[in-house]
């Protein structure tokens, strides 16, 4: 038999013709390796099939049995398919002596099973054994079923049965390709796989983590040893599973580690941190920083002072006070004679940062400009000139900063107020610098979305992470309640009471349709309702994404100054808006928002000393997942807890909405399940590249070649050198 390599096309595997190969390709199975990665979704222990006579009610059992009779019963409620099976080859005539052992199997609504089975067919059945209703022996409801041999069929499996006598893999069928078909195809694939298939994980790493070999793992994940505990197999914790999961995560981390290293291999700027700079940093502080803020500033300052470019992620829940830390970092750069760019995801946020920066920094004499897409051409040109000449020290803007060519005189630090905006890093290269001899600017990415650690390790594996895990003092917890919109009247009475007590409120509408435009109508309508009918005595404002930037800005300013009592808004207020006097947030259609969005929204209130209230208003029936989201919001305010819950409810793939968000899709790994393996893989990847003598140069280069040919594209690690 000719040997195949992992990258051989599947159609060269005996039994897989061009038609099947095409169907497989449609499911992403193109090569032998892809086929071997088509893992069983569960296993059946058919090594010691039970005798029917020994079955007990309540147990999960695998049974190899022969069809005696089958019939489709049409009851009044629904069709039921009923089949009686007995021991294979039991020829005891029914009329004599002991009755033959048999058990009944029932399937509801299973018209499709009619005529599928014939007396004498041999089946594998898997399900829960129960006492039959009318007291006649035992039955299995809706067992998993597989035909092993049709009546009268030659035993097609003469050499060694792939169906019985062992732990058997169960695959998800693809079209006509059944689990049984896959068993054969994968088995043949394993048999023709070149035995020289190379090990890609260095020996020292394998030894330390008790990992079995690569080829052995491929075999055993499909055909486990007879003594492999079933529990471990089903939980993807057999030695074979662990090896394959580790391999995938190890190469991901190796790629990230390389990226990290290559980013840091560039020449950075060594900012000086003398007393003058320290003094300048302290001078601007309007309050005592929390110890968390002090701690992360130290981490940032240390990076900035070092010879390598900083690549740091600053994580902190909404309201944790990231802005002031960012400003302090900016001062370090400015005091060293460099310029700073601060990029925000929306115009509202950019102008808010701008106002904030002017308040905090301008009185210390720093020169700040705002550059957004909606500026007039003339003004824009003037601002650009300002930046190019080096007059502007802190440049605050939106994506206009990187989308349009902005030339800096001496860019030293880029702060990205991020909102899952990946790709910013790549595009930073577009930011032109006059003098290419200057070191690479430092980069600080800020995120208000607490990211579960496993995801942070994966998504931001190439960044160092600082966390502000403490809120500024003087916040009182937010009271969160969910109510049906049938009680909207009471809710708005409450809003009125809060306003009369001197506070302000938000009323938020979800982006119900895909586009902001579509969700506009209900928001505008509600605004009209509120000011004409429901709260005519209050001053109601409206804010939505379709408004011109100036108008938005004007509304925000009026709200900030307290000239608007209730701000009706679509989700444009989500991030960064800071009006401490606002103590009430009513979220309409709360059931439609994602958890992290709800959390971000709620972060707009509870910013002052007064008690705040978040009212999650729902319309109609709420789904199970919707209920869990709302309950989570009511239960906790901890961003990390909410993020973990979000991850669990949505699954890692969707956590960030889209693939473009940078989440790799895994073959075997699952970030929820495999957190510990991920941590281990990360450590080992770092160690592998650290130049230890325990890893030969040969092993490292083999791993790197493997990374380049196999994982790079898969994970989007395009830049790996």
Give me the least distance between CB of 360 and ligand ADP, in Å please.
Answer: 9
What is d(CA 389, CA 408) in angstroms, rounded to the nearest whole number? Answer: 8
Give me the least distance between CB of 284 and ligand ADP, in Å please.
Answer: 12
- Rounded to whole angstroms, the maximal C-alpha distance in the chain is 106
What is d(CA 440, CA 266) in angstroms, rounded to the nearest whole number? Answer: 7
CB 151, CB 120: distance < 8 Å: yes
- Phi, psi dihedral angles at 635 (to 5 degrees): -75, -40
**Between 84 and 320, CB nearer to ligand ADP:** 320
- Residues touching ligand ADP: how many (CB under 6 A)? 17
Return the one option of ligand ADP, Mg ion, none that residue 637 interacts with (CB less than 5 to 8 A, by type): none
CA atoms lying within 13 Å on the CB side of residue 129: 19
Q: How many helices (H) and strands (E) does the chain have?
A: 25, 23
Indicate the residue whose CB is closest to Mg ion.
268
Opening angle at CA 679, ends 242 and 418, nearest 5: 125
* DSSP string of 212-255, one letter each residue: PPHHHHHHHHHS--TTS-HHHHHTT-SHHHHHHHHHHHHHHHHH
String of contacts with ligand ADP for each residue 610-649, x by CB under 6 A: ----------------------------------------
What is d(CA 469, CA 294) in angstroms, rounded to the nearest whole number? Answer: 12
Return the one option of Mg ion, ligand ADP, none that residue 41 interacts with (CB less than 5 to 8 A, by type): none
| Using rule CB under 6 A, residue 597 touches ligand ADP | no
What is d(CA 336, CA 366) in angstroms, rounded to the nearest whole number? Answer: 13
Beta strand ranges found along 400-492 (DSSP E) = 407-408, 411-418, 432-433, 442-447, 464-468, 478-484
String of contacts with ligand ADP for each residue 161-200, x by CB under 6 A: ----------------------------------------
String of contacts with ligand ADP for each residue 241-280, x by CB under 6 A: ----------------------------------------
**Between 327 and 338, CB nearer to Mg ion:** 338
Give me the least distance between CB of 297 and ligand ADP, in Å please.
Answer: 11
**Between 66 and 418, CB nearer to ligand ADP:** 418
Give me the least distance between CB of 320 and ligand ADP, in Å please.
Answer: 4
**Between 561 and 659, CB nearer to ligand ADP:** 561
DSSP 31: B
Give me the least distance between CB of 430 and ligand ADP, in Å please.
Answer: 26
Return the one option of Mg ion, ligand ADP, none that residue 299 interacts with (CB less than 5 to 8 A, by type): none
Indicate the residue whose CB is closest to ligand ADP.
321
CB 586, CB 602: distance < 8 Å: no
Gyration radius of the chain's alpha carbons = 32
CB 611, CB 418: distance < 8 Å: no
**Between 478 and 685, CB nearer to ligand ADP:** 478
Minimal CA–CA distance to 315: which of 455, 168, 438, 474?
455
The token duo for 161 is: 């049965």
String of contacts with Mg ion for each residue 277-316, x by CB under 5 A: ---------------------------x-x----------
| Using rule CB under 5 A, residue 268 touches Mg ion | yes
The token duo for 36 is: 């071997």
| Using rule CB under 5 A, residue 412 touches Mg ion | no
β-strands 540-543, 60-74: how paired?
Answer: unpaired
Return the one option of Mg ion, ligand ADP, none that residue 290 interacts with (CB less than 5 to 8 A, by type): ligand ADP
**Between 270 and 404, CB nearer to Mg ion:** 270
**Between 592 and 599, CB nearer to ligand ADP:** 599
| Using rule CB under 6 A, residue 321 touches ligand ADP | yes
| Residues between 413 and 452 with contacts to ligand ADP, criterion CB under 6 A | 448
- Phi, psi dihedral angles at 379 (to 5 degrees): -60, -45
Return the one option of Mg ion, ligand ADP, none that residue 412 interacts with (CB less than 5 to 8 A, by type): none
| 3-state SS assignment for residue 298 | helix
Return the one option of Mg ion, ligand ADP, none that residue 322 interacts with (CB less than 5 to 8 A, by type): ligand ADP
User: Among residues 297, 324, 334, 535, which is the contact residue for ligand ADP, using CB under 6 A?
Assistant: 324
Give me the least distance between CB of 276 and ligand ADP, in Å please.
Answer: 23
| Residues between 124 and 143 with contacts to ligand ADP, criterion CB under 6 A | none
**Between 360 and 520, CB nearer to ligand ADP:** 360
| Residues between 519 and 578 with contacts to ligand ADP, criterion CB under 6 A | 578
| Residues between 276 and 315 with contacts to ligand ADP, criterion CB under 6 A | 287-290, 293
Return the one option of Mg ion, ligand ADP, none that residue 319 interacts with (CB less than 5 to 8 A, by type): ligand ADP
**Between 450 and 652, CB nearer to ligand ADP:** 450
Return the one option of Mg ion, ligand ADP, none that residue 287 interacts with (CB less than 5 to 8 A, by type): ligand ADP
Q: Judged by CB under 6 A, which stretch of 254-262, 318-326, 524-532, 707-715 contacts ligand ADP?
A: 318-326
How far from 473 is each of 140, 291, 470, 619, CA to CA, in Å? 61, 11, 9, 36
Cβ-based neighbour number of residue 631 at 10 Å = 12
Long-range contacts of 212-218 (CB under 8 A, 24+ apart): 212/239, 212/240, 212/243, 213/243, 214/243, 214/247, 216/240, 216/243, 217/243, 217/244, 217/247, 218/36, 218/190, 218/193, 218/244
What is d(CA 175, CA 208) in angstroms, rounded to the nearest whole number? Answer: 42
CB 588, CB 485: distance < 8 Å: yes
What is d(CA 144, CA 171) in angstroms, rounded to the nearest whole number? Answer: 12
Contacts of 285 (CB under 8 A, 6+ apart): 324, 328
SS (H, E, C) 466-516: EEECCCCCCCCCEEEEEEEHHHHHHHHHHHHHHHHCCCEEEEECCCCCCCH
| Using rule CB under 6 A, residue 608 touches ligand ADP | no
Return the one option of Mg ion, ligand ADP, none that residue 323 interacts with (CB less than 5 to 8 A, by type): ligand ADP
**Between 149 and 293, CB nearer to ligand ADP:** 293
| 3-state SS assignment for residue 177 | strand
Q: Judged by CB under 5 A, which stretch of 181-189, 267-275, 279-287, 639-647 contacts Mg ion?
A: 267-275
Give me the least distance between CB of 576 and ligand ADP, in Å please.
Answer: 6
Return the one option of Mg ion, ligand ADP, none that residue 320 interacts with (CB less than 5 to 8 A, by type): ligand ADP
| Using rule CB under 6 A, residue 352 touches ligand ADP | no
Give me the least distance between CB of 341 and ligand ADP, in Å please.
Answer: 17
Long-range contacts of 484-487 (CB under 8 A, 24+ apart): 484/617, 484/618, 484/619, 485/588, 485/617, 485/618, 485/619
**Between 578 and 641, CB nearer to ligand ADP:** 578
Burial of 612 (C-beta count, 10 Å sphere; 0-12/13-18/19+): buried
User: Among residues 184, 241, 322, 560, which is the contact residue for ligand ADP, using CB under 6 A?
Assistant: 322
Return the one option of ligand ADP, Mg ion, none that residue 268 interacts with (CB less than 5 to 8 A, by type): Mg ion
What is d(CA 644, CA 596) in angstroms, rounded to the nearest whole number? Answer: 10
The token duo for 158 is: 């003469």
Residues that bind ligand ADP (CB under 6 A): 287-290, 293, 316, 318-324, 448, 472, 578, 607
Residues that bind Mg ion (CB under 5 A): 268, 304, 306
């Amino acid at each position: 038999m000719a040997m195949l390599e992992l990258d051989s096309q599947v159609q060269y595997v005996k039994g897989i013709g061009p038609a099947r190969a095409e169907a497989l390709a449609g499911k992403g199975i193109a090569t032998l390796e892809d086929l071997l990665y088509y893992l069983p979704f569960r296993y059946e222990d058919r090594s010691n099939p039970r005798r029917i006579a020994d079955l007990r009610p309540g147990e999960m059992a695998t049974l190899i049995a022969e069809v005696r009779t089958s019939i489709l019963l049409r009851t009044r409620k629904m069709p039921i398919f009923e089949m009686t099976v007995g021991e294979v080859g039991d020829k005891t005539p029914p009329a004599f002596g002991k009755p033959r052992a048999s058990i009944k199997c029932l399937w509801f609504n299973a018209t499709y099973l009619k005529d599928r089975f014939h007396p004498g067919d041999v089946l594998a059945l898997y399900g829960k054994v129960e006492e039959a209703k009318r007291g006649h022996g035992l039955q299995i409801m809706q067992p998993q079923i597989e035909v092993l041999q049709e009546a009268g069929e030659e035993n097609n499996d003469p050499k060694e049965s792939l169906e019985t006598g062992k732990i058997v893999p169960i695959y998800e069928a693809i079209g006509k390709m059944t689990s049984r078909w896959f068993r054969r195809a994968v088995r043949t694939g394993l048999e023709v796989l070149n035995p020289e298939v190379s090990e890609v994980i260095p020996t020292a790493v394998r030894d330390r983590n008790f990992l079995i070999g690569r080829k052995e793992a491929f075999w055993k994940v499909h055909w486990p040893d007879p003594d492999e505990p079933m529990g471990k197999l089903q939980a993807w914790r057999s030695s074979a599973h662990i090896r394959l999961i580790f391999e995938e995560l190890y190469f991901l981390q190796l790629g990230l580690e390389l990226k990290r290293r290559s980013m840091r291999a560039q020449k950075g700027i060594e900012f000086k941190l003398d007393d003058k700079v320290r003094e300048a940093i302290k001078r601007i502080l309007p309050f005592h920083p929390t110890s968390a803020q002090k701690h992360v500033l130290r981490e940032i300052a240390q990076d900035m002072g070092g010879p390598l470019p900083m690549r740091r992620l600053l994580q902190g829940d909404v309201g944790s006070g990231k802005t002031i830390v960012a400003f302090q970092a900016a001062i370090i750069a400015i005091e060293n004679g460099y310029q700073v760019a601060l990029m925000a995801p929306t115009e509202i946020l950019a102008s808010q940062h701008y106002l904030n920066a002017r308040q905090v920094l301008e009185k210390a004499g720093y020169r700040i400009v705002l550059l957004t897409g909606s500026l007039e051409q003339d003004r824009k040109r003037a601002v650009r000139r300002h930046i190019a000449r080096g007059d502007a020290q802190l440049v605050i803007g939106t994506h206009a900063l990187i989308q349009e060519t902005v030339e800096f005189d001496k860019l030293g630090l880029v702060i990205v107020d991020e909102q899952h905006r990946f790709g910013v890093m790549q595009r930073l290269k577009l930011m032109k610098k006059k003098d290419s001899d200057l070191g690479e600017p430092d980069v600080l990415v800020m995120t208000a979305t607490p990211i579960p650690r496993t995801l942070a390790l994966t998504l931001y594996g190439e960044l160092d992470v600082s966390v502000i895990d403490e809120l500024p003092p003087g916040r009182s917890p937010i009271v969160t309640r969910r109510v049906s919109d049938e009680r909207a009247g009471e809710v708005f009475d409450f809003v009125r009471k809060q306003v009369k007590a001197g506070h302000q409120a938000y009323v938020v509408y979800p982006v119900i349709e895909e586009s902001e435009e579509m969700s506009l109508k209900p928001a505008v309508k509600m605004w009209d309702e509120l000011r004409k009918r429901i709260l005519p005595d209050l001053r109601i404002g409206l804010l939505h994404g379709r408004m011109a930037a100036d108008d938005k800005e004007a509304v925000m300013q009026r709200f900030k100054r307290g000239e608007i009592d209730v701000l009706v808004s679509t989700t444009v207020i989500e991030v960064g808006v800071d009006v401490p006097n606002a103590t009430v947030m009513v979220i309409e259609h709360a059931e439609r928002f994602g958890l992290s969005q709800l959390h971000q929204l709620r972060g707009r209130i509870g910013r002052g000393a007064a008690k705040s209230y978040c009212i999650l208003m729902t319309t109609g029936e709420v789904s199970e997942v919707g209920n869990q989201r709302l309950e989570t919001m009511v239960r906790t305010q901890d961003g990390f807890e909410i993020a973990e819950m979000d991850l669990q409810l949505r699954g890692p793939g969707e956590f960030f909405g889209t693939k473009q968000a940078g989440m790799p899709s895994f073959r075997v790994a699952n970030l929820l399940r495999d957190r510990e393996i991920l941590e281990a893989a990360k450590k080992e990847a770092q160690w592998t590249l650290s130049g230890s003598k325990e890893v030969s140069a040969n092993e490292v280069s083999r791993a790197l070649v493997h990374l380049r040919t196999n994982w790079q594209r898969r994970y989007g690690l395009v830049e790996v050198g």
